[in-house]
Chain A
Amino acid sequence: MNQTEFSYPPEMKTDSESRAPFRRNNISVLAELWQYRELLRSLVIRDLKVKYQRSLLGLIWTLLNPLMTVAILITVFSYFMRIHIGHYWVFLISGFFVWNFISQVLSSTTFLLSNHVSLSRSVYFPREILVLSAAFSRLVEFLFEITIVLVVLFVFHYSQVPFSLILLPFLILIQVAMAVGMMFPCAVISVLFYDFKHALPILITSLFYLTPVFYHASMIPEGVRTFFYLNPFTGLLSLYHTVLYEAAWPSIMLLCSVSVAAAGILVVGYRVFRKYKGVCVEIA
């Protein structure tokens, strides 16, 4: 037994070849993930099956819960505290489900790695799959929700098909990149620091108020608006509001900066994950 103290993080010296078996051939991470796409698919299906197979209303539950919140928010902000946004319900549903997706994937990270620890200590598979499967099973639900939203908007709101809707797939892509990029570090931090599990729900609740979900980004006072845009979700929600609610083209400037931010979050977040995933499997 060696009693020497070490500084944190552990300096693991590894040959590049001595990594996980499938990466020894210098196949990049992406190629490896592609190899394991079947696993990703199975895990997503498993998640959804386990969640819904024994409940009577199935996927309807995914809609019912946020719909309740939406109904409450609409009532409160159109009748009690009046927010002066025309067609407030359209405004709300065009962004709320995006927020719902983000808050759910973020809170799913707290027990993501520790829940699967017996699996990850007995079989090798790329650990990224765990994060991705959590994100993708929520994405399936989100796609279902956004389809309903679109149907409702077409029936009750749009007089003609807004051209801006072709941006929607791109917005979803940005949204997923941003969410996954945030999930990676959150998943390892939850293992390394127990406090994070308590802090995260508070953080998410605060973010709900600090992100333009139930108010418009233009209602943020001029002076602090820059700070609000430091929160990447502010930009994302604004884009959704413009595309779905206003049915207009967003400014190229905003679109580009949000995309760059999402890519940056994904890259940095993944680096954190890659650095600590090995330790996490050992101590989770």
Chain B
Amino acid sequence: MKLPEHNNLEAIICRDVTKQFYVYSHRTVSLREWFIRSIKRRPIHERHAEFSLKGFNLQVQRGESVALIGPNGCGKTTVLRLIAGIYEPTFGSIYTYGRVTAVIELGAGFNEELTGAENIELYGAIMGLSRSQRDRHRDDITEFSEIGDFIKMPVKYYSSGMIARLAFSVAVNLEPDILLMDEVLAVGDQAFQNKCVKRLKAFHEGGGTLLAVSHSLSQVAQLCSRVVWLDEGKIHMSGDAESVLDAYKSSAGKHTTEQEEEV
């Protein structure tokens, strides 16, 4: 494959990416319905297309840390899923350079019946790591998560905070080149959150590329040098963290500011 004028600087390139979801009036149809409709040559699913992203363009340099902000439902998570390859773009193309790890839902790959240690193994495999790589990281992960002896217990006996801490530890300790994070920084108590932010900073300083979605503007300001503000599937504003955050705060109005003060 010919890489588009790649000069070893970009980590992520999104070109005119459009993602269309179909909203079905009924998610699935009955066979009877399907039969009648196919005889009458009517469309089988009553549905209309809903655009999640329209002509989205984004280039992230290697070693950059970028945040996506915007109101709920503006397409932030969709962007992460597209870059991670979970969804296919309807139009446009996406290129990534390096190993991508997406943390979209904490603990999604965990199996309740298995122990923490076994789940670390499984998660590493899901991320596509070989066994020697996983062996190398196992102790780091266990130590970082601070769950101690619980690592030998089935995950179903964990508190939700413990699951989240374990999942977060797995994601950041597996040494991805590109880390995609969706709203997962609100993990654990304050001390653990600080530790996470510190770990992510170290990841960034070590040359890792970070693309994060967050509603916590203070964390965004702490972590990211560039902020992209999405609104209704389009880039509303993009630039250095300070100016975009200021504009976002003043536009979102008093409500957001209050929330921010609480955080």
Known A-B contacts A49-B113, A122-B86, A278-B87; A194 and B28 likewise in contact (beta carbons under 8 Å): yes
Cβ of B21 under 8 Å from chain A: yes
B1 close to A42 (CB less than 8 A): no
Considering only residues 101-131 of chain B, those with a C-beta below 8 Å from chain A are: 102-105, 108-109, 111, 113-114, 118, 121-122, 125-131
A13 close to B90 (CB less than 8 A): yes
Instruction: Output the least CB separation between A36 and chain B (Å).
Output: 6
Known A-B contacts A5-B48, A8-B43, A39-B125; A124 and B84 likewise in contact (beta carbons under 8 Å): yes
B126 close to A39 (CB less than 8 A): yes
* A35 to B125 CA separation, bound complex (whole angstroms): 10
Cβ of A12 under 8 Å from chain B: yes
B108 close to A17 (CB less than 8 A): no
Give the number of residues in B that approach A within 8 Å (Cβ atoms). 55
Chain B residues near A4: list those with CB within 8 A. Answer: 48-49
Considering only residues 33-79 of chain B, those with a C-beta below 8 Å from chain A are: 34, 43-51
Instruction: Output the least CB separation between B147 and chain A (Å).
Output: 20
B interface footprint on A31-64 (CB within 8 Å = 1, 0 otherwise):
0000110110111001001100110000000000
Instruction: Output the least CB separation between B203 and chain A (Å).
Output: 18
Identify the interface centre among A12, A39, A278: most chain B CB within 10 Å of its CB.
A39
Cβ of B230 under 8 Å from chain A: no
B105 close to A122 (CB less than 8 A): yes
Chain B residues near A86: list those with CB within 8 A. Answer: none
Query: Which of the residues A7, A12, A17 comes within 8 Å of B90, measured between beta carbons?
Result: A12
Query: Which of the residues B51, B85, B89 comes within 8 Å of A124, measured between beta carbons?
Result: B85
Chain A residues near B131: list those with CB within 8 A. Answer: 38
B109 close to A8 (CB less than 8 A): no
B92 close to A18 (CB less than 8 A): yes
A17 close to B1 (CB less than 8 A): yes
* A41 to B105 CA separation, bound complex (whole angstroms): 23
- Total A-B residue pairs with C-beta atoms closer than 8 Å? 145
Cβ of A193 under 8 Å from chain B: yes
* A5 to B25 CA separation, bound complex (whole angstroms): 12
A119 close to B109 (CB less than 8 A): yes
* A282 to B86 CA separation, bound complex (whole angstroms): 9
Instruction: Output the least CB separation between B199 and chain A (Å).
Output: 20
Chain A residues near B87: list those with CB within 8 A. Answer: 278, 281-282
Interface residues of B (CB under 8 A from A): 1, 20-22, 24, 27-32, 34, 43-51, 81, 84-96, 100, 102-105, 108-109, 111, 113-114, 118, 121-122, 125-131
Not counting A122-B103, A194-B30, a sample of 13 additional A-B residue pairs whose C-beta atoms are within 8 angstroms of each other reads A2-B48, A3-B48, A17-B95, A20-B85, A24-B95, A38-B130, A118-B105, A119-B126, A121-B104, A123-B108, A123-B127, A124-B102, A195-B31
